[in-house]
Amino acid sequence: MTTQENSPDQQQTPSGIRRKDLLKAALVAPLPLIIAGAVPALARDRASSGKPLVPTPAACEPGEAPTHSQMEGPYFKPNSPERTSLIEPGTQGTRLTVSGYVFGLSCQPIANALLDFWQADVYGAYDNAGYRFRGHQFTDSQGAFRLATIVPGLYPGRTRHIHVKVQAPNKPILTTQLYFPGEPRNNTDSLFDPALLMNIRTVGSEQEGTFDFVLNVDGGGGPTDPPGGTWQPGVSYSVGSTVTYGSGTYRCLQAHTSVVGWEPPNAPALWQPV
């Protein structure tokens, strides 16, 4: 623990909620939970059963390094189809859903980030002639992604893994791989990196995984409107207060004291466009 003054991401509200936690919880939390001062587990950390998962090793935390890069390998192909599901008619294998968020260094979510996935089939083979188990997608306005696929098979020399390229708009590409916990070959694969382990849980006959990427880019969810308007940091806003920010007008959803980073476009749990 550091004894230095808290960074912006560690600043606390009067109720003790860290700025970073509110930024994350605001993406998915029902308002009553935040108003009550109890920041819930993120949606990325909840299975369909509603039970929370342990945060991923790559979850955005103050002072943590960006997500580790890894080699591309020999099987990448450009121009994959845009799709969020790699499942096709007749696809064999254990169904797997991978979901999470893409953040910048400030722990702000990055909208419209590119994620290009490719992996082996259930037998450990890559489709080099076509685009089976290959596809790209873009994060939504909250920086979230969701991929439907299968658990990839094993092939000689490697542990179980999924390849991915991640790129914020007009920024450098992160090439990396995601790994599965509890795999015996994790101990022998020289490329394996425990920092790239997904959280995996079994739900019925399927598996659910979560992972959050942190890109080496500033901001990520910063204001899209030009500065200006009546909103100011350090002001105590009450429920129903209205402010302008850039070209938009916003209504306060819960009482709070504003800080930098909680600009209305970036804090949907606090402000609603009107």
Note if the pTM is more than 0.85. no
d(CA 237, CA 239): 7
Q: What confidence score (pLDDT) does residue 71 get? A: 96
Q: Which residue has 């009067």 as its token pair?
A: 14
- Which domains, ranges and CATH numbers included, belong to the chain? 22-42+220-273 (2.10.10.20), 55-214 (2.60.130.10)
Tokens at residue 154, please?
């094993």
Q: What confidence score (pLDDT) does residue 62 get? A: 54
Cβ–Cβ < 8 Å for 201, 208: yes
Contacts of 66 (CB under 8 A, 6+ apart): 105, 174, 214, 215, 216
Cβ–Cβ < 8 Å for 266, 252: no
Q: What confidence score (pLDDT) does residue 261 get? A: 59
Cβ–Cβ < 8 Å for 97, 208: yes
Q: What is the pLDDT along the chain (274 residues), one digit of tens a residue?
A: 333 334 444 444 444 444 444 554 555 544 444 444 433 333 344 444 444 444 344 445 655 689 999 999 999 999 999 999 999 999 999 999 999 999 998 888 999 999 999 999 999 999 999 999 999 999 998 899 999 999 999 999 999 999 999 999 889 999 999 999 999 999 999 999 999 999 999 999 999 999 999 999 986 544 444 457 899 888 899 999 999 988 889 999 888 888 665 778 877 778 899 9
d(CA 198, CA 78): 25
d(CA 192, CA 198): 12
Number of other CB atoms surrounding residue 246 within 10 Å: 17
Distances in whole angstroms, Cα of residue 56 to Cα of each of 98, 100, 133, 157, 196 = 12, 9, 24, 26, 9
